[in-house]
Structure 1
Amino acid sequence: MTETRAEQASRVIGASTYMVLATADETGTPWATPVYYRSRDDREFFWVSSPEARHSANIAVRPQVAITIFDSSVVPGTAEAVYLAATAAEVPPDALEDGASVFNSGIARSIPVEDMTGEAPFRLYRAVATEHYVLLRGGDPDNARGADDRLRVDVGPRDQPGGMR
């Protein structure tokens, strides 16, 4: 059976641990940074950062972000990528336990909630994807343009219990 584009997006998101987070400040000056992430249902993306980091300060004034997830180790011309439009924010206190459980799933050294609150130097952030796209390489049979392009996909909920990656 052939993999659908939505399944491709889900596979790329699940196989990766870093995403490139693109933000902009109040004047629109862009900034991009790689962050380690965990995902729930391929729609929510959690990471831990300092609120003093440039991308965190940008999110505080402009929550619209763009995200790219890809494997940079593959041979040129064979890459797969997922592009996301999302809205990001610091996780509020009433959702911190839940968000931390997603972020800490599957990592060797979890970060306790106490290290993301109060005087601690880090905070938990979450981006909620509003749009998903996959890379269509120039030679892809679904790509009529011939140059690399992107295709919007509808990524539904996972069948896995808890839907976490």
Structure 2
Amino acid sequence: MTDGMWEAVPRLLGENRYLVLATADDQGRPWATPVFFAARDEDRLYWVSSPGSRHSRNLAARPDVAMTVFDSHAPVGGAEALYLEATAGPADDPVAAVAALNARLPEGGELVDDDLAPSGSLVAYRADVRTHFVLIRGGDSRFDNVTDARLRVTRPR
């Protein structure tokens, strides 16, 4: 029944440009923010942010994050979504992060070295994904569900 469900993971990562990043501060207060992202693969995502932004400060306190990737223009009843659990922080390879992001940015809008710290105001971040889930819409004929649900998926061997 779950055969072929993994294929949604790379497709949704490739088709969508923004994800919702959910973080929490050291007191556990949640925060969610949209970020433009690029995927190196299904297990590593990149974005850039100001280190002073609320979500970046939260990452410094608590590196565990949740992320949702979806098309906000999908008609009601036609949504697809990818839910991810990850550990996030500054990119260990900012050059790779910027290269991945620049591949998705429009010509003339690419990031340059001076955009990133220490000379610039941005830091490249990465998320290492631990768990992948896909949305199963309510009434999906393959599943016995009336309401929307999430299904954990793993890479085929």
- Cα deviation for residue 119 of structure 1 reads 3.7
- Alignment partners' CA distance in 2, 1:20 and 1:148: 19
Any residues of structure 2 matched to 1:8-87 within 5 Å, and which? 8-87=8-87
Any residues of structure 2 matched to 1:113-152 within 5 Å, and which? 113-152=113-152
The structure with the greater share of residues assigned to helix is: 1
Task: State the one-letter code of the partner of 1:58.
Answer: N
Task: Please identify, of 22-31 and 104-113, the stretch whose mean Cα deviation from structure 2 is larger.
Answer: 104-113
- Alignment partners' CA distance in 2, 1:106 and 1:148: 31
- Cα deviation for residue 9 of structure 1 reads 2.1
Q: Give the structure-2-normalised TM-score.
A: 0.91
Which residue does the alignment assign to 2:103?
A: 105
Q: Is the Cα–Cα contact under 8 Å of residues 42 and 155 in structure 1 kept in the other structure?
A: no
Alpha-carbon distance change, 145 to 139 in structure 1, aligned in 2, over 3 angstroms? closer
Q: What CA RMSD, in Å, does the superposition of the two structures yield over aligned residues?
A: 1.6
- Alignment partners' CA distance in 2, 1:155 and 1:104: 27
Q: For structure 2, list consecutive stretches of 5 or more residues without a partner in the other structure.
A: none
Report Cα offsets for 1:118-162 as digits up to 9, x if no partner: 1411111000110000000111123323211010111369xxxxx
Q: Give the structure-1-normalised TM-score.
A: 0.87
Runs of 4+ in 1 over 4 A off after TM superposition: none
Task: State the one-letter code of the partner of 1:82.
Answer: L
The 3-state SS of whatever aligns with 1:6 is: coil
Matched residue pairs, number? 153
Which residue does the alignment assign to 1:163?
A: none
Q: For structure 1, list consecutive stretches of 5 or more residues without a partner in the other structure.
A: 158-165
